Amino acid sequence: MKTRFLSLLCTALFAAGILLSAATASAHGMTYWEATLVLDDTATGGQNQLEPRKSTLGDARRAVVRAGLADDYQEKDSSGDGMRFVTFTFNGAEPFVFRAVTGAKDTRDAGDLTITSYDVMGQSVRTLSGLRVGKSYEDIEEMYGEPSFSETNEDGLTACTYAFDDKAATLTFDIDGAGIIQAIHFRSEI
């Protein structure tokens, strides 16, 4: 009888642990694919999608140019601590920054490296569901719920971060005092 009780107790505790960990693993409903950026292609009338960790810096360069948002970019390529850091910064009509991080011995052309992070500060680029700079943050909360965490800086911007634990990545929205998205940041671990 005692063995049976302990067996039932262990089973119940195990089931409760699974339910509790599932509930806390992702408190929000946002999926990783929301980090994919969509840019209009003015040449074809279509769209270009930039999926982090799959699309390259070269893909980003082409998409930004084809969207008519910038003709030129600044490339910064540096190495340190066994890593190579490459940044493409576009300062056209709207600012964009795309980055790649890889091993220091990776000698591929910078344009061939996959995007590991980005910063979007302009309204022309959106996520798969249409989230973009200039939109109300309430739209995000209605669609996906509360962020994984948030923090307000000294300038009054609140960074609302949605974490994707299974991908070791985050998508952060900088929100002003009026509740409007001012920037979108994607970060991933390598």
Task: Name the pTM for this structure.
Answer: 0.83
**Residues 160, 145 contacting (CB under 8 angstroms):** no
Average pLDDT on 5-16 reads 38
Nearest to 125 by CA among 59, 62, 183: 183
Who contacts 137 (Cβ-Cβ below 8 Å, separation ≥6)?
A: 160, 173, 175, 179, 180, 181
State how beta strands 95-103 and 74-80 pair: unpaired
Separation between Cα atoms, residue 122 and residue 98, nearest integer Å: 13
Confidence of residue 27 (pLDDT cuts 50, 70, 90): low
Separation between Cα atoms, residue 125 and residue 133, nearest integer Å: 8
**pLDDT tens for each residue of 70-124:** 988 999 999 999 999 999 999 888 899 999 999 999 999 999 999 999 999 999 9
